[in-house]
Amino acid sequence: MVVTRPREQAHDLVRELTEKGANVLVAPMIAVSSPRDPAAVRHAIGSLGSYDWIVFTSANGVRAFLPQAIQSGAFPRDLKICAIGEVTAAAVGSEGKTVDLLPPEYVAESLIKAFHALGGISGLRILLARAESARAVLPEALRASGADVHDVAVYRTVPDQAGISLLKEELANSRIDLITFTSSSSVRNFADMVAKDLTGAKIASIGPVTSRTIRDLGWQVDVEAKPHTSRGLVDGITNYYRNQLR
């Protein structure tokens, strides 16, 4: 069973899968790196006082941006924080900040509904701190609802060459039963640099955004985590194989 999550983030998932009896191979498809335009990040930090909300879509975004913002002394007390996903919320908490909004699902529609439940989104100035390669669906949905959105790339993902080489070797020797994907960038890097075909290997996805990327490549999602966390992914995989034995 393969974990394609970046090495520094793979520990919990590897531990939980191993505790369930899986033989786990860590073969990261991506590594987290600084954004190409660090000036945009510095400008966003300097402008934090002009925003009503900051939205984090991943723990990577939190780790890349929030410590800098806090250390700068420019983080306003009244700036509200929205975190998409429990792991993202936990990362915010680890930096000593409180999450004011946690949508129940990792999809744009869920975020919009959550904002509307608080009184609406029209006219709000929102800083969206996320990956350089992130899809445009989320900011477009926020703008369509009337928000003024500043979409800033606070980090980028790059191919992890060591993980890619390892996975190529394992696939060539037909030693892979299941591959876990926890981000769309891992999926795209796999397709671009490892293999276009996954015949013979099952696929487990962390959630609907990653699953959509997988299906766009013509692959089948055999397991989707619910909730969209490491624990949800492990439980989904466990239930999948349990059902196979019935």
Do 189 and 218 sit in the same domain of this protein?
Answer: yes
My answer on whether omega of the bond before 227 falls inside 30° of 0, hence cis, is: yes
Please give the structure tokens belonging to residue 159.
Answer: 């191919």
180 closest CA partner among 209, 202, 157: 202
CA 215 to chain centre: 17
As a 3-state breakdown, the chain gives helix, strand, coil percent values, each rounded to 5, of 45, 20, 35
Within this chain, do residues 125 and 212 fall inside the same structural domain, yes or no? no
Mean of pLDDT over the chain: 92
Query: Is the pLDDT score of 208 beyond 80?
Result: yes
Note if the pTM is more than 0.95: no
Same domain? 219 vs 173 = yes
**83-94 pLDDT, tens per residue?**
998 889 999 999
* Domain stop point among 118, 140, 156: 156
97 and 166 part of one domain: no
Q: Are 53 and 124 in contact (CB under 8 A)?
A: yes
The more confident residue out of 197 and 37 is 37
Q: Of 138, 156, 174, at which residue does a domain stop?
A: 156
Domain CATH for 64: 3.40.50.10090
Total domain count, the chain: 2
Same-domain check for residues 135 and 190: no
pLDDT level of residue 108 (50, 70, 90 thresholds): confident
CA dist 118 → 47, 101, 168 (Å): 24, 9, 48
Instruction: Fill in the amino acid letter for 83.
Output: A
Residue 215 shares a structural domain with residue 237: yes
Q: Which two tokens stand for residue 81?
A: 């924080």
What is the domain extent for residue 87?
34-156
